[in-house]
Structure 1
Amino acid sequence: MKWLESNLVVIFWSVIFGEVVGYIGGTLEQMTWKPLQLGILMAVVAVVAVNGIALLSRDDQASSEK
C-alpha cells in the first residue's frame, strides 16, 4: 500500500510542477500550452524516474551486502 500511495503523490506533484513549468516555458518561448498532454507526459516521466531510481538503488544495496 505504501508503494501505491507514494506513486500517487509523485503523480500529483509531477502534474502540478509540470503544468507550472510548462505554462511559464510556453509563455517565454511563445508556444502553445497543452495542459492535458503536458500533465500526462510529466506524470509518466516522474513515475518511471522514481521507480527506476528505487529499483536501481535496491539492486545496488543487495549487491553491496553480499
Structure 2
Amino acid sequence: MNLLSKNIVAAIWGLILAEVLAYITSQLEGMTPDYTAVAVIGAVMALIAVNAVNAITGKADPAKQEK
C-alpha cells in the first residue's frame, strides 16, 4: 500500500471514529457538538498518527537500512 492510499484511508477512518466519539460524548453530556471541527481534528490526528508510525517503522527496518 503506498503512502497516498494510507493517508486517504487513515483520514477517512479518523473522520468516522471522531464523529462517532463526538456523538457518544454529546449524548452523555447533553451538549451539541460541532461536527465539522470534530471531523477536521479527527482527520488531522489520524494523518499525524499514520505518518509517525510510518516514519518510525521505516527507520526501524534493518532490511531498508543503507550500509
Provide TM-score, normalisation by structure 1: 0.82
Q: Once the two structures are superposed, what CA deviation does each residue of 1:10-51 show, in whole Å capped at 9, x if it has no partner?
A: 111111111011111111022221100000000000100111
Identity %: 33
The residue identity in structure 1 corresponding to 2:48 is: V
Match of 1:16 in 2: 16
Partner of 1:16, secondary structure, is helix
Segment of structure 1 superposing worse, 6-15 or 40-49: 6-15
Structure 1 residues not aligned, in runs of 5+: none
Structure 2 residues not aligned, in runs of 5+: none
Segment of structure 1 superposing worse, 33-42 or 14-23: 14-23
Match of 1:40 in 2: 40
Q: Give the Cα–Cα distance (whole angstroms) in 2 for the partners of residues 58 and 22 of structure 1.
A: 33
Provide TM-score, normalisation by structure 2: 0.81
Question: Once superposed, what is the RMSD of the aligned Cα atoms?
Answer: 1.8
Q: How many residues align?
A: 64
